[in-house]
Chain A
Amino acid sequence: QVQLVQSGAEVKKPGASVKVSCQASGYTFINFDIHWVRQATGQGLEWMGWMNPKSGNTNYAQKFQGRVTMTRTTPTDTAYMELGSLRSDDTGVYYCARGLYETTHQPRSDWFDPWGQGTLVIVSS
């Protein structure tokens, strides 16, 4: 079945960086964008950006530009999200998700399915 499996929990100090992995299985990895979404502690879902695994092209939410980098390793069907200059309010759960869209419908509005199980990132001194 289609599945995204993420790396385990991380504890980081303020100012450090964290890199979360997301390994895809059950479908052709390069054919679908990977999106990253986070839920900071006590907050709702927040979209961070997407990456096209075939080209490597990315688009980041304005809030995270300059701090986030999304990459991939195609031989292992793995996507990565690295967030730098961590602050305490970056504490939360980070999810990857596959992007889907209706090819015959305009304008395009992707939806996300499935999602990875989530990776808890704790930023604390």
Chain B
Amino acid sequence: QSVLTQPPSVSGAPGQRVTISCTGSSSNIGAGYDVHWYQHLRGTAPKLVLYGNNNRPSGVPDRFSGSKSGTSASLAITGLQAEDEGDFYCQSYDYRLSGSYVFGTGTKVTVL
């Protein structure tokens, strides 16, 4: 049972903007721990798309951006493209779980 909650799915037409929320609590995001985001396509390894709330690794297009406020974070994809389909997970750290890293529940992004 994940301590970070995401919407099960979001969708948008090509070129549109979609956002994915990640809601935590005072023992994880609210305690100041950074949030990171991954794209996971079935049958492949998860790929890091944002780290440290809003930093893009080399090779990730600037269509991906992130933010964090209070006990929540969000990932935005602007100019949605077909290749952006997949499952997206947020990830952070929770000090109340004996030093445990935690993932969000996951959000399926569909390009209409």
Interface residues of A (CB under 8 A from B): 35, 37, 39, 44-47, 50, 59, 61-62, 95, 97, 100, 102, 105-118
Contacts and interface: CB of A to CB of B under 8 A. Distances in A.
Interface string B22-61: 0000000001111110101000111110011000010000
B interface residue count range (under 10 / 10 to 19 / 20 to 34 / 35 or more): 20 to 34
Contacts of A113: 48, 51, 57
Interface of B: 2, 31-36, 38, 40, 44-48, 51-52, 57, 87, 89, 91-93, 95, 97-106
A38 B57 CA distance: 23
Contacts of A45: 38, 40, 46, 89, 91, 103, 106
A107 B33 contact: yes
A61 B45 contact: no
Contacts, number: 80
Contacts of A110: 93, 101
A111 B93 contact: no
8 contacts: A37-B103, A44-B104, A47-B91, A47-B100, A95-B45, A102-B52, A106-B32, A111-B51
Nearest to A120: B43
Contact of B99 (A46, A59, A95, A97): A59
| Most A C-beta atoms less than 10 A away, residue of B32, B34, B87 | B34
B22 to A, nearest CB: 12
B34 A109 contact: yes
